[in-house]
Amino acid sequence: MKPMIAVLIAAALVLAGCNTVRGVGQDIEKAGDAIQKSTK
């Protein structure tokens, strides 16, 4: 039960950080850029 609560809290924080679909896209793009930079 505790892992489920942690997942729900994490999801709530992510959704609060990007309230729009555009914001979600920007967040995903930033994550992809960070991954690419870390592999170089």
Q: What digits encode the pLDDT tens for the residues 10-20?
A: 877 777 665 66
CB 17 within 8 A of CB 27: yes
Predicted TM-score of the model (pTM): 0.45
Question: Where along the chain do its domains lie?
Answer: 2-39
Please, which residues have CB within 8 angstroms of residue 3's CB and are 6 or more apart in sequence? none
- What pLDDT sits at residue 34? 84
